[in-house]
Structure formats: structure tokens, C-alpha cells
Amino acid sequence: MKQILPFSHTLYAKLYSLVLFVLLAYCLFNAIYSVIIGGKSVYLFSGLILIFQTIIVLKATAKKKIYNHIGLIGLILSLVYLNHWAFLFQHESIAILPSVILTLLSLDYFSQQHSRLNLLKATLVFGLFILAYTQYHDLNTLQNYYDSLHTGETWQQYGAL
């Protein structure tokens, strides 16, 4: 079967990379803002690790398996440190899902079959959407907490601002 457009594969790859980096940028900026006003710092660390892992996966390097495994282990250790072994029951642990998927994408077993690769790519985007929604929900919860203080100031004036 002949392709309709000869550049469609590269166009789809660039659009997919753009969607990934827009989602990761949203997660990172949301995490930075949340930390500035007094929110949880685990999202900032997970955002930085996920950006590092995404760059390593998209870049053709020989040691991408090692770097992605280190990123996954670092994310799990930071969650264990912050939540004292109950990290799987916290909603911040949703950041593990994109990290595990990025680690699986670095393995040759999944990258050689297109059906598995496409499934992992779709799951990665879905996992990043869930992470972005969780961060948005936590930021709204923080906003509602600051609104409940009734000091007459806006909620943006709390924290480090």
C-alpha cells in the first residue's frame, strides 16, 4: 500500500515529540509554581527525571537503558524518601507510570515490534495527561486551602511570593 504523503512518518514523529514536550513542560512549570507557593516538591523532581528520561529515549545513545533505569530508581527512591514506604498509596506515585513506560521504551524488546511500540507511546501520553491532571488537582487543592484562611489576601501572596 502506497503512502499518501511521503513525509507522514517524520511528521507524526515530530508531532508526537511536540506533544510529549508540551505535556512535560506543563508538568514542569506547574510543579515549579506549586513549589514556589508552598506545594509538594515531589512533582518537581519527577518532572525533571521524566524530561531527562524522555531526552535519553528520543536520543540515539548506546547507554539509554542504563540512564533510564537510573531515572526510574531515582524517582522511586525520592518517593520512598518523601512518603516513608507508603508511596504507592499516595497520588504522587502516578509519576512512576510514565517513568516505567520510558524505561520500557528504551528496551529493544518493545522497540522492535511496532504494535507494542505504538501501545507504549499511547500509554505514555495518557500517563502524562494523568500526571498533569493530578498536578492541576493538587494546585487547586492548595488554592482552596489558601482561600480558606480568610486573611483578605489572595492565595498567590502566600508561600515564597
pTM recorded for the entire structure:
0.76
Residue 133 phi, psi dihedral angles, 5° rounding? -65, -40
Asked if 130 and 94 count as a contact pair (C-beta separation under 8 A), the reply is yes
Band the pLDDT of 44: cuts 50, 70, 90.
confident
pLDDT at 5: 56
pLDDT tens digits, one per residue of 88-117: 666 677 777 787 777 777 777 777 777 888
Res 118 pLDDT > 80: yes
Which residue type, as a one-letter code, is found at position 97?
A: L
pLDDT at 133: 92
